[in-house]
Structures are given as structure tokens and as C-alpha cells.
Structure 1
Amino acid sequence: MELMKLILLPLFCMCFHGHCADTAYPHKSTCTIENAKADCSHMNLDAVPTDLPKNITTLDVSHNRLKTLSSLHLYSNLVTIDASYNSLTAIEKDLCLSVSHLQILNVQHNEVYLISEKDLKNCFHLTRLDLSDNRLKLNGEPFSVLKSLTWLDVSRNKLKSAKLGTQPQLPNLITLVLSGNEISVLQKNDFSFLSNSSAFRVLILSSLSLKKVENGCFQAIARLSDLVLDYCKISLQFTTSLWEELAATALRKLSLKNTQQVTLSNTTFQGLEKTNITVLDLSSNTMSKIAEGAFQWFPRLEMLSLAHNTLRHLTKDTFRGLGNLRQLNLQKALIKSHTSSLPIIEDFSFHHLVQLEHLCMANTAFREITEHIFSGLRKLKTLDLSWSITGLKTVTNRTFAALQESPLLQTLNLTAMGINKLAPGAFSSLGNLTTLLLDHNFINQQLKGDELEGLSNIKEIDMSINQQSISLTNTSFIHVPTLRTLKLGRALKGTLAMEPSPFRPLVNLTFLDLSNNNIANINACLLKGLHHLKVLKMQHNNLARLWKTANPGGPVLFLQDARKLSFLDLDYNGLDEIPLNALRGLSELRELSLHGNLLDQLHASVFDDLQSLKYLYLQKNLITSVQHVTFGVPLSNLTELYMDHNPFDCTCESILWFSEWLNSTNASIPGFPQSYICNTPNAYFNRSVMDFDPLSCKDMTPFKALYILSSTAVLMLLFSAFLVHFQGWRIQFFWNIMVNRMLASLEDESITEGRYAYNAYIIHSAQDRPWVERSLLPLEDEKFHFFLEDRDAIPGFSQLDTIVENMGQSRKILFVITEMLLKDPWCRQFKAHHALHQVMEDNRDSLILIFLQDVTDYSLNRSLHLRRGMLKPHCILYWPLHRERIPAFHQKLRSALASTNKVN
């Protein structure tokens, strides 16, 4: 039995490994062409395909079995070639001759051995060359012809020396990668070939076993700004001599990741005192101790990473000398092992970092957050303590009191710190905080509101995933009206059916997450006042009863106040119906998700207000029928539709329109057709909706003539309606002019008799005098003469006599109707009464009403004893809102002034 296991185990491992390999990198049968790029990778090719488009600019033939790059002359426009992971033994000397525009060449992980100048002599435009993971041996000066090259990678080629040439070359080189070679000594003239490379800045020497650096080795590349020594096993003696050589360079960034810097003394970096280093990476060094003053030699340092170390103690002088530091990364820098106690961070440990803006302490472990641990961080903007072990259980008003000295602090990340309570005023010292992250904790309390007091500028609070242990009250968020994003997913217990709603004070809220809370009881006022809400997530609750027609009191229409919603998620709520007005008014909704409910029959117009909808998720419901009356509006502008895994009824009545829409739409429909399956009738059972035959439902021949006739009639009717609606006033204007000209006179015979001294007596309120002067008096230039009491009354005469006498001498009495006129006591008590009396006494139809405002008949009759029905239609005029209609108004007024006074 044991022997059988020994035989079968290797076979199983081989089969499993082969299966995983095939799954991870499946072989393709054809190249993929997209945006002038041909992807022929992972195709097991022996040669470059010859049937690709001739205009491609990028070719990927990586992960094949190529031994040469023949046939590339067919694609002369190539700019980028990726031939990595093949079996190339050389770079053909005519490669760049046939592909003259080549700029990027990747032959990583091949078997290139000898490379000489003639192989690259025509590569004038080459800017990036990757020769890593080969068996490279340089013959002569192969890189001397690459005048445009900016990036060269010769890593992992078993090179013994960093010297890639004897003569100055590569004038535009910026980055040189020599990682993973067998270089142990940096000799004096190793980089002399870059002496004329004025743009050179980056040198990557990762994973080298460096033991010695000769004097003057960086002299030729004194402009060096970035040096990467990651994963190099370097000794203290080597670093001392290396720092001396780097002192004469323009070094700005130094990376020493995983270089076995276990302890830093106060003289470790003394040799770098004369440099201008701004970025230092010391991560992943299993560093356990940093002596006080170890960083005093970096007065210009702006970024320091100590992540992934094992520091045990930070003191108030650990970061002495880093007065210019902007970012400090301590992620996993202090950790607790199984055999040791928690590391310690003393009070004032960061007080030297007066310019620090971003402090990351995620995934750390230390004894406690003391009152002054963060003192002195006057420029701090971001503090990340997420997933840290500090023993913090209750956040009090003293926990972060030291951050009162950090007025610029905007983000505080307390994710997954084991917090179970927020005391009153817990964040009262953080008045400028905009983002507070408290998710993945164990907060178990009722939020009364005073816990968040003092957060006067807060924009985002995340309390999601708090074990559904938080209950809300009416005042929970009363102190944070500036809040825009609130995340309470998987955090709440108890009811939200309270008046007023807990969210009523959040008038600026745009994002609300209430998902995964098993909410079953809310009222219609839940979102009242949230007029700016754009995103609402309520998936994985229990809202089914609230939208039932049989619900006591009717369906709860809790979305009625959220008219600005653009995203609504109601997945997995057990919904089996949507009330007719549930989505009414959501004209800005762009994404609606109802995935995983029990929806079947939907009201015909339930989605009619969703004109902006772009994404609709209805998969995994019980929808059988998709008809135009229900889905016509939401599917008209859709970008993506998810309606798979529904039991469709593939009959003419239920699916005909949907079938036609699926075959004609430009929208994306993931899962179509394989996941759109018919459930009924039996003829289509378990077949794709695509198999449904629409022609079986139609016989258009008898109705073709009727269709053409009715369509023509409807179009003509629509044309006429639109013409009358938009241009009716213009037609009436020209009609009036034509009629008046045909009658040869705009004036009544009584005018020529000279019986009247005025064409009209104008009655208006004092507030409307400017309009009268601007809009009516210009007609006096056309031989019309109006009586205005303020202008034409004779001084010394009583007002009553003036009104009586001049109304009798006016052919028409013209009222300028506004609300102010109806309130004018003179008009109501005398002028209107006398006008009516004179009309009845003389038995003439001489009243003209001009409405500047919309006044109801009731108000008109109550104030002036007039009604629109008492006058002829052409004597009732309305002041137009559009400037271009004013000439038509004046023409109507002329006609009214010239019309007869005789009562028909």
C-alpha cells in the first residue's frame, strides 16, 4: 500500500501541475487584433505569422517557441515587439533594417548569447531594450550604435562586470538595469562608457553580491539620482565605502530594501551627509533597532519607508534630524512575535517630524496609544492605524487629543483596530477631519450623537462591518451636517422606522450604504431631506413586505424624496413586486440593481420615469414576460442589461418585443444567449431565447395598407399640431394684418366723426406705469392718442370729475391687469365701477383687458366685477413672454383699439 502511494503521488502531482499550467495559460488558436496591436502570445508558434494586418504597430509573440524573428519585414510599421519567453539565440542583424520604426524591443528570457555592433547597427530609433534572462556575451561595442536608447536591461545574464563598453556611448540613456548578475566589485572604470550620457539618472543593482566598490567608480555618472540596491547582501564595510563614493553624486533616491540592515547605529549613514537624498527605502530588513540620531544625516529627506521590519522601540529621538520629512511608512514595522511582548512607542516619538504630512502605521502592533504619542505633528494630513494592535477598546476625548496640534489632519483610518465603543466627544479635537474610517471593528452601542460632536468638517464616515451592533437614534448624526458619504453596511441593529429619520440632518449626503443589515421596517420618511443623495445601497435586507400592495397602510414609498439618485442597489431583498409609484421621479437614475429577488409581473409604467438609465440588473428573478409597455423606456438608452437566469415564457405575447430588441440593440448583454433560457412553453423548454421565431407571430400583409394610411394620417396630424403649437401666434399675426388690409381701414367710423378725444383711457396701477410708458405709449407715434391720468389730467380739477369726463371722451377703456391693480382701492371702488356704468349706459362694447400676470376669473370678478366671458375674444390680450412675439401683441392691440363698439 505504501509502495502504491509512492508511485501514484508523483503522477498525481505531475497531472495536477500540468492541468494548472494549461488553465493559467491556455493556448490560443488565433491572434487577437485590437487597436493596431496583434497579440499572438501563448500560441505555441514556431514562426511569426504572415497573415496579420500590414499596418500593425505592436506585436506580441511572447511565450512561444520562436527561434528566429523572420517575416517581420512584412510589418514595416512596427514600433513595439515583445518576443520574450521564446528560444531566440540571436538578434538578426537586419531586424531594424526591415522594421525601421522600431522603438521597443523585448527579448527577455531567451537564449541570446553573442551580441555585436552589427546586430544593432540599424536600430537608430530604439528607445527601450530588454535583454534580461539570457546568456549574454558582449562582442565589441554592441550598444555604441544605440543613440536613442533610454532604457537598457541586461539583468540576470551572469555578467561578471558592470562594464558594457570601453568607449563613451548611449548618449540618451536614462535607466540601466544590472540586477541578478555575478558582479561583486564595482570597478573604477565600470561606468566610463556612460560618461557622455548627460540624461543618465537611474541605476538598478538589485540582487547582487557586492563586496567592494573602488574609488571613483561613480565619477562618470555623477548625475546619478536614483540607486536601487534591493536584495543585495552588503556588509558594513561595503556600505561605508559606498557612501563615500555616493557623496560626489546627485543622488536623490536610495532603495535598500532587504539588504540585511538589522540594526541602524547613529553612524550607519554618516557618509551620506553630503548627499541630497529625499527618498530612502529601508523596508523588509528585519530591522529590530534604530539608534537615536540614526537619521540625522538626512536633513533633506522627504520620504522614508521602514515597512516590514521588526522594530521593538521608538523613542523621542529615533527620528531626530528628519525635520523635512513628508511621508513616513511604518506598515508592519512594529510587530508582535509569539515569544515577545508588544513593541513600545514613547510619547513625543514623532515630535521631530514637524513637516510630516502622511503617517502610515497600518498592520503594526504596539503597547498602547498614549496621550502624547502623536504630539508635534503640526502638518499631518493623513494618519493610518488600520489593522493595528494597540489594545484600544474605547475611543475617548483624550485618545487623540495630541492631534489637536495637527490642524491640517483630514484622514484618520482606524479600520480593524478592535474598537468596541466611542465615548462622547471622541473626536472633538479633530475639527478639520474630512474622512473617518471605523469599519471592521466591534462597536456595540447606541449612537446618540455626542460621539461625533466636534467633527464640523467631516465628509465621510465608514462604520461598515461592525457585527450589526450599532443602533441609531433621531440625533445620531445631528452634529455632522457636512457629511457626504456614510457607510453602515453590516453594522446596524434595531429599527429605522422613526420620525424624524436618523439621516434627516445630513442635508449634504450623496452616498448612503445600508446594505447587509436585515432591515425589515422603515417608513416613507427614511430619506426625507436628502435632496443631494446620489448613491443608495440597500442590498441584502428584508424589504419585501414594505413594497407589497397588501402592506397595512399601503406600500412604503421611501424613495420619493431621493429625486437625485443615480445609483440604486436593492439586490436580494425578497421583493416580489414593485409599487407603481415606487420609482416615480427618479429621472436621473443611471444604474438600477434588483438582482436576486422574486420579481415576476411588473406594472406597465413602473419604469417610465427612468429615462437616464444605463445599467439594469434583473438577473436571477422570476421574470417570465418582457413587454414594451413595461421595459420600453428603461431599455431605450441602455448600455448594459443583465437579465439572465430568469424563467422566460417564450410566447408571442410575452417575449416577442424582447426577442426583437435583443437582436437589434447595441447594448452589451453579458451572458446572452447561453444564460437567457426559455422555461415555457414545452416547444421552447430549455432552449435559448435566441431560438424564438418572431415571424411566427406576425402576418403583416393584410395590415400593410392600413399601416401606411394610419401612419400618414398620424404624421400629418403631428405636423399640424406642432405647427400650430410653435408657430400659431405667427400665423395669427399675419392673418390679422391681411384681414385689416382687406377691410382697407383699421379705424372705426366713429373716430373720423371726431366724437372721441382719445383712443383709449388707460387704467393701471402705479407700479405698472413703467410698463405702460415702455410698451403702450410708443403707439401714439402711429396716430393713437391715450389718456393717462398722471400725464393728461388738468390741474385744479377734482380727480372724480377728471375720471368721469375723460372716460366719456375715450373710445376704449383699457385695463392693465396685474395683482397690484386688483389691490388698488381707486380701481376697485370707482374706476372699474364707472367704466362698467358707462359701458352699460352707452350700450357699447368698449373694454379691453391686457393681462401682464395670470389672474383668475374669480379674482377678476371679485375685485373689478369683470369676467373674461363678458368681452369679445379679440379684446382680451396677454403680454407675451418671448420678445419675438411683441410685434404680434401690438398688432392685436391695434385691431382691438380699432374694433367697433357696437354690441352684436
Structure 2
Amino acid sequence: MGGACSRKRDPQTNEEIAHGGVSRKYSKSGSSKWLGTSFNRASVDNKDGNTICPSLMELCIIKISEEINEYGTFSMLPRDISQQIFNELVYSQRLTEAYLEAFYDCALQDMNLGEYPGVDDTWMDVISSQGLSLLGADISGSDVTDSGLLHIKDCKNVEALNLNFCDRISDVGLGSISGLSNLTTLSLKRNNSITANGMSVFSGLVNLLNLDLERCTGIHGGLVHLKGLKKLEALNVNCCNCITDADMKPISDLTNLKELQISCSKVTDQGVTFLKGLHKLGLLNMERCPITAACLDSLSDAALLNLNVSRSNLTDDGCEKFSKLKSLKVLNLGFNVITDAVLAHLKALVNLESLNLDSCIIRDDGLVHLAGLNRLKCLELSDTGVGTNGLRHISGLMNLESLNLSFTLVTDGGLTYLAKLSSLRSLNLDVRQITDAGLAALTSLTNLAHLDLFCAKITDNGTTYLRNLKNLRTLEICGGGLTDAGVKNIKDLQSLTLLNLSQNSHLSDKSLELISELTNLVSLNVSSSRITNAGLQHLINLKNLKSLSLESTKVTANDIKKLHESHLPNLVSFRPE
């Protein structure tokens, strides 16, 4: 986020992350999970703000892991201790093929090596040696081939198997899992080698609850092999553009299905008719599908809680059918050609907790229909025609926790309507009309944890209004007029874990000195500023720092590497690189 000041996040990527999946920006060469494990195990604070001391067992595990080269085998240890040592080696990235041998026949239950570097067929012998004890294995993003997967066939008790991004596994390799009848979770994201014929092995996985085939582009016709999986509760074929209406027919037999994801497929209204008898269906993702509002008739009997029909070219025609989906809690209508007229049909959805209207043709008057949605927690209004007057209609939504007003017509005056939203924790004000005066209205929002002020015209004076927001965890003020004096007002926000001050060209090394007091920071961006190599000394105490961006400054990649090697060992991502 160091370059452009104005940006638009990809909602599809956000959705994948929100559902616990891996971002579509995944790369084998770098872990996309680092942010989820951003804090050191010993950095968890108690209510007094003090670091919790690790237990004696934890200290022993860490010590053994640091001296792993002195141990030949752990097979004589109790399983739970061996498991903890294995987990620590993976966490600390010390596990190698040679050290892996020490875990041969240790009866481990979980071997989570997803995205771990160097995993290939040679690792599979040790993994399979866990035998009947092995319950879960994750080798996502590895170079394991069909031959390597063959080892897993003797681990008959495996319940969860993640083979995401394993593009060297084909139909032949799938044959190795045909006998794993205890499998409840199987994930094969982004595998173009799997075909409809290979999917025949799924018919024997009678206990399967969750099946993920996202971005598997060769599975058209293969869903017929799922007809007998009566326990299946979640099926993900997102971004499989080979899926058509014909593939929906076998799904009609999966009466226990609770979650179905078919985004970016060729499914039309006709295909949706096959979902009519799935009364337990609670989540349906049809983003980018060529559907119309007519398909909602087929969903009226389902217990839908979460519906995504964004980017489906919906218009106002037929949208009155939304009013029948009374159980909905989450509705995504973003990037459709719908107007305020549709909002009139949403006021009956009193259970709604999240509503996405991103880039729809919504104006101020339409928001009056949302005034009665008192359970609403998340409202996305980015890139709409909503302005200052519209905010008065939602000023009574006291349960609202997240509000996105980026790229709207809201001005400083409109922010006064937000002052009473005491539950608000996340606010996006990526709006050029917002100035220091607007921030004055936010001082009462003491629960605010995330504040995005990209493109807003914030100066040093405006940052004085942030002092009351002690619970802020992420703060982005980019492209504004901040100087070191403005950063002085930020240095006391001790809860901050992410700070983005890019595009503030007057910031100097003095700002890094002030930022050095924010010891909880995990991510810091001060790109396009006057920062020099001399200022890096002020960052040595930020031991939790995982991401550092100093693009377009006088700092070089070599300078940051030296800082990483000498003082910030936890740094995972840095720019320039």
C-alpha cells in the first residue's frame, strides 16, 4: 500500500480470506498466513498490559527446537510432547527434511505443513509413518506428486486432508485417498489436473462433510459422483467456470447441504431451480453468475442466512423477491445495476446484520429504508452516491460496528451523524472531502479499532482528535499533509498494530523516533517520505514488526535486510526488497 494513494480492494479476495481460505494472490514462494500468526507466543498481554510468562513446558519445547540437531528421534516421548515439538519447528521455520526423520513413527495426530517450504515426495514417508494416529494433514502448496500421495493410503483414520495448490497431483493421485472413508474434510483448491473421471473416488468418501474444489477448472460433469454423499454440508466450486446448470442437478440430492459456493460459474436461473429442495441451505455464493432476480423464487423455502449475488448484473426488475428471504443475516448486492428502489424491498429483512451495496446506484433518499434494520452490524456503501444527508437515516443503527464510506460524497458535516454510533469499531473514510474538521466529530467513538483515512485531507491539527481513540488497532492516513508534529499525536495510541502513513512526503526520521514507542506494531508503512537509513535505528525495539514498507525513501533494501538480521528477526515482508 505504498504506491497509489487511492485504491479499491478486491472484494472477492477479501471474501476468500473472510471464509478462512487462502487469498487468490497466493504464491508458493511466500506464506500468505503470516498475518494470522503475527504475534509471538510470548507477546500475548494480560489485562494489566504485562507479557505473560511462558510455562516451563513451553520453554522446554522451545529449547529442544533450538537444539534440534542434537536429537535423533522423538518416538520414545509421549505423543503430545512430540506434537508440540513438531509444531514449534514448523512455527519457527526450523523443520528440514533431515530433522523431520526424528518424527518417524511418533504417532502424531496433526501434520500441518501448509505452505511450508521444501515439502515434496521425500517428506511423505515420515508423514505416513504416523499410521492410524494421523487425523489431519496439510501439505498445501507443496511439490508432492501422485507418487508421494500414495503413502497416505495407509493412514486410514485421517479426517482432514488439505491438498490446496498441489498442482502435481492428478486423477492418479486421487486414487490413493479412495479408501480414506473417515475423511470429513477434503480441500483441493486450484488443481487443473483433476477431472470428472478422477472425482469418481469421492463416491466412497461417505463421511465427507466439507469438500473444496475451488478453481479446479476440469471438473465439469464430476459432481455426479457426489450424489451418494448424504452427509455433505459444504461444497465449494468457486471460480470453476466449467460448472453449468447441468452440474446443479446432482446437487439437488444433497439434502444436508448447508453451504454452496458456485461463484464465477455458468449457472443461470435454470440451474438454481435444482436447489429448491435444499431446505438446510444457509450460505449461497453466486457472485458473477449470469442470474436474474427470478432465481430467488427457488430459494424462498431455504433457510438462507448468507447470500452473495454481487457482480451478477442484477437490475431493479424482480428485486421485490428479496423481501421473502426473511431469515437473511448477510446480503451482498455489490457491483450490480440496482437503485434506491431495491432498498425499499430490504426493509422487511429485519434480521440483516451485514449489507453490501458497494458501487450500486444508491443515493441519500434510499437509505431511509435501512433505518429500521436495527440488527445491522456491517454496512458497505463504498462508491455510491451517498452523501451527508444520507447519513442521518442510519444514525440510529446503534449496533453498527463497521461502516465503509470510501469514494462517496460524504463531507465533514455528515460525520456528525456518526457521533452516537457507540458500537462502531471500523470506519473507512477514503474520501477526499474529509478534513481535520470532520475528525472532530469522531472523538466520541472510543470503541473505534480501525480507521482508514486514505485520500482524506488530514493535517497535523487533525491528528489531535485521534488522542481519545485509545482502542485504535489500525490507522491509515495517506496522501495527507502530515509532518512529524502530526505523528507526535499518534505515538500514544499504544493499541496500534498497523500504521500506514505513506504519501506524507514531509515525514522525516523524527517520525520513526516517535513511532518507536508503538511496540505492538505488526505492520508499518512510511513510504514516499524523507526517511533515511539513519532513522532505522529507531525501529529496533519494534520486535513484533512483521511488515515494513519504505518505498520511495532514501532507505535501500540492503539497509532493511541489515535491520532484519540484527534486530527484527520476525520481519517477513519488507519493501524495497
TM-score (norm 2): 0.57
Aligned to 1:458: 376
Aligned to 1:242: none
Aligned to 1:430: 349
The structure with more strand, counted as a fraction of residues? 1
In the TM superposition, what whole-angstrom CA distance separates every residue of 1:102-137 from its partner, at most 9, and x where no partner exists? 335xxxxxxxxxxxxxxxxxxx66989x99599xxx
- Whether the aligned pair in 2 keeps the contact of 1:426 and 1:452 (CA below 8 Å) is no
- Whether the aligned pair in 2 keeps the contact of 1:444 and 1:470 (CA below 8 Å) is yes
**Pairwise CA RMSD:** 6.2
The structure with more helix, counted as a fraction of residues? 2
- Whether the aligned pair in 1 keeps the contact of 2:249 and 2:271 (CA below 8 Å) is no
Q: For 2:422, give the aligned amino acid.
A: V
CA-CA distance at 1:229 after TM superposition:
13
Aligned to 1:55: 70
Alpha-carbon distance in structure 2 between the residues aligned to 1:274 and 1:257: 17
CA-CA distance at 1:199 after TM superposition:
4.7
Aligned to 1:300: 231
- Whether the aligned pair in 2 keeps the contact of 1:350 and 1:375 (CA below 8 Å) is no
Aligned length: 450
CA-CA distance at 1:358 after TM superposition:
2.4
**Structure 2: gaps spanning 5 or more residues:** 1-27, 30-61, 74-93, 112-118, 164-168, 556-562
Aligned to 1:287: 220
1:475 aligns with 2:408: no
CA-CA distance at 1:319 after TM superposition:
4.7
In the TM superposition, what whole-angstrom CA distance separates every residue of 1:453-491 from its partner, at most 9, and x where no partner exists? 342212222333x2x6432325142242211111223x2
CA-CA distance at 1:666 after TM superposition:
6.1
Alpha-carbon distance in structure 2 between the residues aligned to 1:131 and 1:602: 45
In the TM superposition, what whole-angstrom CA distance separates every residue of 1:26-62 from its partner, at most 9, and x where no partner exists? xxxxxxxx98789xxxxxxxxxxxxx9952779xxxx
1:385 aligns with 2:309: yes
1:328 aligns with 2:328: no
- Distance 1:602-1:323 versus aligned 2 partners, 3 A rule: closer
SS in 2 for 1:574: coil
Alpha-carbon distance in structure 2 between the residues aligned to 1:525 and 1:514: 14
Q: For 1:478, give the aligned amino acid.
A: S
CA-CA distance at 1:570 after TM superposition:
1.5
**Is 527-536 or 422-431 further displaced after alignment?**
422-431
* % identical aligned pairs: 16
- Distance 1:314-1:575 versus aligned 2 partners, 3 A rule: same
- Distance 1:310-1:421 versus aligned 2 partners, 3 A rule: farther
SS in 2 for 1:533: coil
CA-CA distance at 1:412 after TM superposition:
2.4
Aligned to 2:56: none
- Whether the aligned pair in 1 keeps the contact of 2:227 and 2:250 (CA below 8 Å) is no
Q: For 1:485, give the aligned amino acid.
A: S
Residues 36-51 of structure 1 correspond to what in structure 2 (within 5 A)?
none
> With CA pairs under 8 Å and 6+ residues apart, which has the higher RCO, 1 or 2?
2
1:402 aligns with 2:324: yes
Aligned to 1:351: 276
- Whether the aligned pair in 1 keeps the contact of 2:196 and 2:223 (CA below 8 Å) is no
Aligned to 2:331: 412
Q: For 1:438, give the aligned amino acid.
A: L
Aligned to 2:421: 506
Q: For 1:352, give the aligned amino acid.
A: G
Aligned to 1:822: none
1:599 aligns with 2:509: no
- Distance 1:207-1:478 versus aligned 2 partners, 3 A rule: same
Alpha-carbon distance in structure 2 between the residues aligned to 1:218 and 1:666: 46
SS in 1 for 2:364: strand
Q: For 1:377, give the aligned amino acid.
A: A
Alpha-carbon distance in structure 1 between the residues aligned to 2:188 and 2:100: 37
SS in 2 for 1:502: helix
Alpha-carbon distance in structure 1 between the residues aligned to 2:435 and 2:283: 42
Alpha-carbon distance in structure 2 between the residues aligned to 1:581 and 1:482: 33
- Distance 1:394-1:488 versus aligned 2 partners, 3 A rule: farther
SS in 1 for 2:260: strand
- Whether the aligned pair in 2 keeps the contact of 1:296 and 1:322 (CA below 8 Å) is yes
- Distance 1:581-1:524 versus aligned 2 partners, 3 A rule: farther
- Whether the aligned pair in 2 keeps the contact of 1:448 and 1:472 (CA below 8 Å) is no
Alpha-carbon distance in structure 1 between the residues aligned to 2:520 and 2:340: 42
Aligned to 2:49: none
1:485 aligns with 2:402: yes
- Whether the aligned pair in 2 keeps the contact of 1:36 and 1:57 (CA below 8 Å) is no
- Distance 1:509-1:571 versus aligned 2 partners, 3 A rule: same
Aligned to 1:150: 128
Q: For 2:196, give the aligned amino acid.
A: T
- Distance 1:412-1:314 versus aligned 2 partners, 3 A rule: farther
- Whether the aligned pair in 2 keeps the contact of 1:484 and 1:511 (CA below 8 Å) is yes
- Distance 1:261-1:449 versus aligned 2 partners, 3 A rule: same
SS in 1 for 2:291: coil
- Distance 1:309-1:565 versus aligned 2 partners, 3 A rule: closer
- Whether the aligned pair in 2 keeps the contact of 1:515 and 1:541 (CA below 8 Å) is yes
Q: For 1:55, give the aligned amino acid.
A: E
Aligned to 1:621: 529
Alpha-carbon distance in structure 1 between the residues aligned to 2:529 and 2:100: 58
SS in 1 for 2:451: strand
Q: For 2:269, give the aligned amino acid.
A: I
1:568 aligns with 2:568: no
CA-CA distance at 1:360 after TM superposition:
2.4
Q: 1:208 aligns with which of 172, 176, 180?
A: 172
CA-CA distance at 1:514 after TM superposition:
0.9
**Structure 1: gaps spanning 5 or more residues:** 1-23, 26-33, 39-51, 59-78, 84-98, 105-123, 135-142, 153-169, 182-189, 232-255, 263-267, 336-342, 549-554, 649-661, 676-904
- Whether the aligned pair in 2 keeps the contact of 1:279 and 1:304 (CA below 8 Å) is yes
- Distance 1:419-1:133 versus aligned 2 partners, 3 A rule: farther
Aligned to 1:29: none
CA-CA distance at 1:522 after TM superposition:
3.7
CA-CA distance at 1:375 after TM superposition:
0.8
- Whether the aligned pair in 2 keeps the contact of 1:532 and 1:564 (CA below 8 Å) is yes
Residues 2-401 of structure 1 correspond to what in structure 2 (within 5 A)?
54-55=69-70, 82=97, 102-103=102-103, 132=121, 150=128, 180=146, 199=157, 206-208=170-172, 257-259=194-196, 278=209, 284-285=217-218, 287=220, 297-307=228-238, 308=240, 310=242, 312-313=244-245, 319-334=251-266, 343-345=268-270, 349-378=274-303, 380-387=304-311, 389=312, 391-394=313-316, 398-401=320-323
TM-score (norm 1): 0.39
SS in 2 for 1:436: strand
Larger radius of gyration: 1
In the TM superposition, what whole-angstrom CA distance separates every residue of 1:11-39 from its partner, at most 9, and x where no partner exists? xxxxxxxxxxxxx99xxxxxxxx98789x
Alpha-carbon distance in structure 1 between the residues aligned to 2:205 and 2:102: 42
Alpha-carbon distance in structure 2 between the residues aligned to 1:635 and 1:172: 44
- Whether the aligned pair in 1 keeps the contact of 2:340 and 2:366 (CA below 8 Å) is no
CA-CA distance at 1:174 after TM superposition:
8.1
SS in 2 for 1:300: coil
